[in-house]
Structure 1
């Protein structure tokens, strides 16, 4: 079975334009799973690591003279200084923070802060005053509860990466289903060395740190799979399409198969680079195509080299 046979069998057409139009029209608007929203395990772990110091800092919370109380706390419990950056949503434990300080005369100086037990009380108080931490402490009742909210907010920054992870998990689930139907084995997060160790197939690397989302051995042939998801357009999509065309050629020269599974409405505004890749790569799928059986046929029935 070749690519045209696959289209006729599964999509009832041999017209590349019709297949590409269907690829675009069936792109998913979202692939959010429940894990997309908040990584609670990570949030609670971060909170637990700071629990003692956050509760000590509660001594200053809700008090009109929070600055005096904060000074007392830091003087008697220097380790509390390490939680100050978290109060302003800054992850800088064990790292230096460089701040440009401008005085009333317009003169600048660079202030370096390392939030550990060596930070002086005056430095900690000045940082807390200038960043608004003093005012914050006056107006909140419970520091750990406040930091829980901060950690949830910081964790939301990881949602972009979680979309990519969700895409991998969806494809992985489909590969598990397919593997039950034939002589198919696959490896997630496959480096060139891992492919050799698991399948005893040597692939000449295009770059040392290349990691494929999946390496599949099916009926004695090796097929490498890349997945990604783009909710929005931009120049990155063009760059990715170009890079994967080069990667395909590199693998084809070694008689190694390559499948690109991509999705997301970002492609609707970047159709040109995707179409160029579609015309040159044998197999570009989205999740809808995978569900329709195209991935299964590619791995089990299609001819490669």
Structure 2
């Protein structure tokens, strides 16, 4: 018998890897894609007649306007702004930046009101390449949530491979119930509400005598979602126990579970195959997935 308290004490505050915080290759790539235009805009830094110089520059090189959203740390190619004089939609899409279509006074107004003219004119920055790299680094940090969502999956997959399973041969990623049924002929109606619900498992491992449906997650902080997850996986585990040839496995971790320990303990008590990262590192996959 495993002790729940001891098992929970092994949970970790984070599983961030070295690439979690900033994807610098993506940052450098995004800046590189605008490098020429940013170099051209550099000529406005320290200008004593910024509006006139902007007109001349934008008229000669209208493509430089596509850089402007990045200077404001905005991903969208369209920006809406309004003031006491009304609202305007500004487009920075390359296909729209044709000389004959551009209202230069409108874009100059945008540059002035957003503070970009002041940034350039007063030489607050010295190089737009460096500035854009800093902005991209900040924007990329917003992608941590998406990267974090895949860290546990990546970690579990690493240990599945370490246990000797081969992708697309003995283990499969993101597999739906109907795909499992079609591939191995298993009747999974007990966990699909008689075919009315389409469940997708993060991984499916196939051994000689068993199909394992695997779910993975990591919670660094608490919230109501954890209680819902624990309850739904408890139900899934109980339903799976009625299916011959199929086993549900759950890999979870994270200090967020401390705030939802009661619901997790209920699932732990009835679920044979629930494991944490420490279990994986101890080789549990190779021991139980047979």
Could you say whether these structures have the same fold, taking a TM-score greater than 0.5 normalized by the shorter chain as the test?
A: yes
1:224 correspondence with 2:213: yes
1:124 correspondence with 2:82: no
How far is 1:87 from its partner?
Answer: 0.6
Match 1:44 to one of 1, 5, 28: 28
Segment of structure 1 superposing worse, 240-249 or 267-276: 240-249
Alignment-derived partner of residue 98 in structure 1: 80
SS of alignment partner, residue 179 of structure 1: coil
Match 2:277 to one of 275, 287, 292: 287
Alignment-derived partner of residue 119 in structure 2: 136
SS of alignment partner, residue 251 of structure 2: strand
Match 1:146 to one of 118, 124, 131: 131
Alignment-derived partner of residue 23 in structure 1: 7
Cα distance in 2 between the residues matched to 1:76 and 1:273? 65
Q: Which runs of 5+ in 1 are unaligned?
A: 1-13, 301-305
Cα distance in 2 between the residues matched to 1:45 and 1:195? 39
1:244 correspondence with 2:244: no
Question: Is the CA contact (8 Å cut-off) linking 1:113 and 1:119 kept in structure 2?
Answer: no
Cα distance in 2 between the residues matched to 1:172 and 1:44? 29
The alignment's TM-score, normalised by the length of structure 1, stands at 0.79
Match 2:146 to one of 154, 158, 161: 161
Match 1:70 to one of 51, 54, 57: 54
- What is the Cα-based RMSD across aligned positions, in Å? 2.7
Cα distance in 2 between the residues matched to 1:143 and 1:296? 53
Task: State how many pairs are aligned.
Answer: 275
Question: Is the CA contact (8 Å cut-off) linking 2:178 and 2:198 kept in structure 1?
Answer: no
Alignment-derived partner of residue 303 in structure 1: none
How far is 1:66 from its partner?
Answer: 3.1
